[in-house]
Chains A and B, each alone.
Chain A
């Protein structure tokens, strides 16, 4: 019966979306597909007692694995660091392979290699040109239960220690890799992912790195089914929290607080926060070493209530993901996030910013199995009603009136401490976002109705009524299952905009989102769960109103006779240019013969801004040649060594200088190693192309491949001459051109229109 319910829900959502906004599923390229690089895996082990974190009583291991593009040409590559969670640490080498929580391994025992459990994800990322290090954390797991900080400071220090090690591998080399990775890592582009206790660990690490003056450029942090025992708040770095609905270990899904707590904590924070709710996922299956059937010892399905109608793996028609589905889901969403924020590939923004709610095909999920939330950075968001204080029940954050009519109740609750409870349950496992009498949580508006004439209105004051600079209206919402009948009924309501002339335009939430689903499961004190998910409605979809004079945003509860929803974070989202806009200095470099390095400007700048460049190559011996004002300069370095190269960018508009930004990176030149020809000089034109492509800079013997956006190879040829005639049966569209050379791979994106 449940399965039928999910099926019906999926079909309804599909139909609704087909007839409203979405003309095309999978509109966004799939981030989870393998990339063009061949991948190699190595391991390293500097000893079980090789490092002593200041904050921990014991010595810990320095051990892990690294996945990287096999040829290592074309770097430096961004770095991803993975930290596993708490799990048994050793197992007996003879059957029945009893596990133990001790460190180091006793005689007759081997260490459990939890760090190997994310190899599937590491391979995906490495195939897209990342170096991925997964760190062992057994010693901390073995002794953290008696520590007030649960070993979180030590986890943060352990990750920092590995960053130090990889910085050494990048600059001077070291055991066991020698000079293999020298100059191959971009330590200014780093992403970290922590699972479970590792999730809170990478938050601690990001804060530690910041407290040290940010020696490493941590650009993105993923917390995967994390704990959040201490409620440390990370601002200033993009965050993705992944919450598995059927988590049988961290049942309170406490990682939602990483997102919630950071939203309004820092008024200058430009970093977006994302969350992904994965229905049917448990805690352990993200790690293959913790998954039954994938490892020799200590595995389990952490969801213990096996007959729960939704999460119970033994219940007929349950909603659980199997092990391969769960890994595929993390693989796709994790890759989207890192490739966007570490790699700078905004192709995946529609997935993370809730414009494209169709899950990537590689995730194996459908639209009823995954819900994404997005909290944009400060200058991409105008808060209408944060619903974070009791007063926002009557006055919103724009100082507009908040009113309701025919509602049973319209109040603010759930923020904890002295704020009223929403009276849904006594368990934070059923209400992960909420606060308690001793701890702050996320406040929300609670709206209950028993008539179709019920409505709730936020007034927009005159100063904010011109909404043409915004793209969408967003809020987060959840069904309040405790006040919604019949059990199992999904909800819907109308969002109405009214302009100052009284003209209105209505759209249903269900046309854009499945967030108002009735939560499944019945396990005592754990399910169902209240979880907030983003609803995003483009403003252009509201027709027939004057969007320069938008006066009211109204929720009309006109779909069902009764129901109850919780909502938060009502905002306008989209582009609202701050003075500096998106200026972000960045450059890439490539080596040529005789210590010549070619620098290619990759600065992100605002459309229409003019830019002025200044470079310092950190090579004073070269005299006046040590500086340049070209956008894409080259510099002949005087000798081998490590040089700090800095790029300074100034952006101008008609009003004059608007802002500046800089970016510095160490360039390592090894003696006698500068013989690579310059891959970055390969160019492809024209773009768009119709009949032919002109490939300049390639060598005879290089190969050209055209891949469509699904990753299929549509055309392949040897580059024996610069001009390549395109087959006329090649469909129009966007393609990736991949040039495979003995020296590496170069990827461009082109549009073909015959």
Chain B
């Protein structure tokens, strides 16, 4: 790299720019050659040499020199991706060490220092023996098909590139590792929480901004534990009241009125249908284990399923007093047409109240009607199509959503009172006793007796 080509400011910050650029480049390109071309272009380097550059770029090693194209031919791009994802700064450190000012002895000493490193080893890549049949936990699942590209922000920033979220996975068919795009269960859970709480408040004729901020924070973001609160002090009356009066709360839980409460639902990561995940998703797509290898070969690798999209924001300087700033940015998107398997569990469905299970059914209907996941929905990202969630082996069907809707209608006043309450009183709370819109009287019932629960087990 030359300071004249980059400019003095960029040249002085070249290591951080390189570090930020490596991951976006490695996910946007599909081969070592393409990656190298993109890298050279970014830093105005002529790989083949030019009038102002040294000759073709060469790799200098203690044993001699090797031209760049030959060096690249020995690199497995999957390995390169893995190393860059692990630590782009590692490579940037080497690349930005200048050797121009070193004399030959110093340079030789630096090369010889590599001898102190142990020989690189590759972890075992043993294929795992997959079982023909598993004892499967009860769950509901479906397959999302993306009808528009999807965005889901990565854990770390890479300059002006907003990458898709990835995690490391083991491919049981090959024993190798890869960084694969996924959508976090926590993100899906948050989206479902917004949806189900918003719908519940809407049924009550409320907006989130109408209720006390602490309650709104609990409903929409899970709440928080106040400083100094004894979280070991379980108040069953407070919990029962919350679960009875807010079925979505029973479903998703959180912390309210100094009570940390577990929800019934466990929302899983959305797993990308790709070669690396084939062993995990084949059953959801109706592929038998004996056909798995052949089917996996037909799937694209995860790295083939994303692309960078360039976005711009204009300053509109033609407008008087325009204070905006011009910027470009890249967003990595999962391609339209990609599929993801999504599942969740309700634990334990046998012990879950009918109203809560019905609330879940209502949420899933609402989710299906919206059909949007991930970020940047306002730009049209994240549209999905999917069949209704199917119960897996041994999983009972969910009840009809009308049970939930009728329950909300019948206990509307008590629910509004709970939603508007600023903290539970010390004494066990009493229901208002006023009838709801449906005219039913009485306090919120304990949801179901043991006998009723037993009956529920047979019905859903």
Pair from one complex: no
